[in-house]
Amino acid sequence: MRLGVIDVGSNTVHLLVVDAHPGAQPLPATSHKRLLRLSEHVTADGLIDDEGIRDLTQFVGECVQIAEDLGISELMSFVTSAIREAPNGQAVLDHVRDATGQSLRVLTGEDEARVTFLATRRWFGWSSGRLFGIDIGGGSLELATGIDETPDTAISLPLGAGRLTRTLDGDPPSAQDLRAVRAQVRTQIASSARTLTRWGTPDRYVGTSKTIRSLARMCGAAPSSNGPFVHRSLERAALADLVPRLASMTAEERTSLPGVSPERSAQVLAGAVVIEATMDIFGVERLDVCPWALREGLILRRLDALE
């Protein structure tokens, strides 16, 4: 059967289509995405502005048409932090549904972490023992740990790369501003650390998300063109060397680095600060990069329900 997922994130709206059936590996059929940056369409009152609503509605309608053309059996749609935190979030969802016929479901931050954890468990398997998953998006940071497919603990913190980038002035930002963000990040992560560490020492640390893949690529990991089955990892020591280098560069200069697109060059510094802090506080020397994340986890969860 052919399934599709529309994932509405703080930065990107992404349609993933896979051919799959219960018990089989979901095989990607097509991927369609657009950088909408919904988090930048938030007013001072926290509302999604008219332009953001219009762009989102237009692209969801485009995704629905693509799904119909590809013969999808079921199309699931989910929204994350940008809309779930907006006071007019429900009005945005109603507008999209009325205009496109597609209902978008709101995922909590904890559910994001749990679904992504399922994807990493399926990718690395039971032999990995206790997993510790790290996932960063535009609006939030998700952390989870467990020995099963459902984590023992899953948390979400408002430490997304896009969110933090909007608090940094200057290009590149001043050393003072960057220190302030670094301190804020480390305080929030440390305050939640006991929730995760009380379950014991993980056997494997796993990172997902575009930001982590980009950081790994900048630190020497294989390019995406080599395929998903090539082992990729991110070393804390290499990341610690990379952060000051990123901090000294403008967003345009960062695009010369491997794995950094023009669309994400501004926020990769904030993402690096968050991931370095997470690895440091939890004593992670190396993150194994997982090509599966939230979208794949949603599809796996749906396949399990069908079975």
Q: Output the domain CATH number for residue 39.
A: 3.30.420.40
Residue 265 CA to residue 288 CA, distance in Å, equals: 23
In this structure, the answer to whether residues 148 and 102 fall within a common structural domain is: no
Say yes or no: 130 and 235 in one domain: yes
Domain of residue 219: give its range: 125-293
- Under 8 Å between Cβ of 161 and 274: yes
Q: End of a domain among 52, 74, 107?
A: 107
pLDDT score at 39: 85
> Angle at which helices 50-69 and 89-100 pack, to 10 degrees?
40
Please provide the size of the chain in residues: 307
pLDDT in the model for residue 188:
98
For the entire predicted model, the pTM comes to 0.95
139 and 49 co-located in one domain: no
SS3 184: helix
**Are both 280 and 137 inside the same structural domain?**
yes
pLDDT confidence of residue 46? 87
Q: Is residue 298 part of a domain?
A: no
Q: Are the beta carbons of 241 and 215 closer than 8 angstroms?
A: no
- Are both 277 and 134 inside the same structural domain? yes
Task: Render each residue's pLDDT in the chain as its tens digit; 307 residues.
Answer: 899 999 999 889 999 999 988 887 888 889 999 989 888 898 888 899 999 999 999 999 999 999 999 999 999 999 988 899 999 999 999 999 999 999 999 999 999 999 999 999 999 999 999 999 999 999 999 999 999 999 999 999 999 999 999 999 999 999 999 999 999 999 999 999 999 999 999 999 999 999 999 999 999 999 999 999 999 999 999 999 999 999 999 999 999 999 999 999 999 999 999 999 999 999 999 999 999 999 999 999 999 888 6
Residue 115 lies in a domain: no
**Is the separation of the CB atoms in 8 and 48 below 8 Å?**
no
Q: Which of 113, 104, 206 is nearest to 157 (CA)?
A: 113
Radius of gyration of the chain (CA): 19
**Residue 225 falls within a domain, yes or no?**
yes
Do 33 and 158 belong to one domain? Answer: no
Claim to verify: residue 134 and residue 275 sit in the same structural domain: yes
CATH number at residue 261: 3.30.420.150
Question: In which residue are the tokens 């023009």 written?
Answer: 262
- 3-state helix vs strand vs coil in the chain, percent to 5: 45, 20, 35
pLDDT of residue 27: 83
**What does the mean pLDDT of the chain come to?**
95
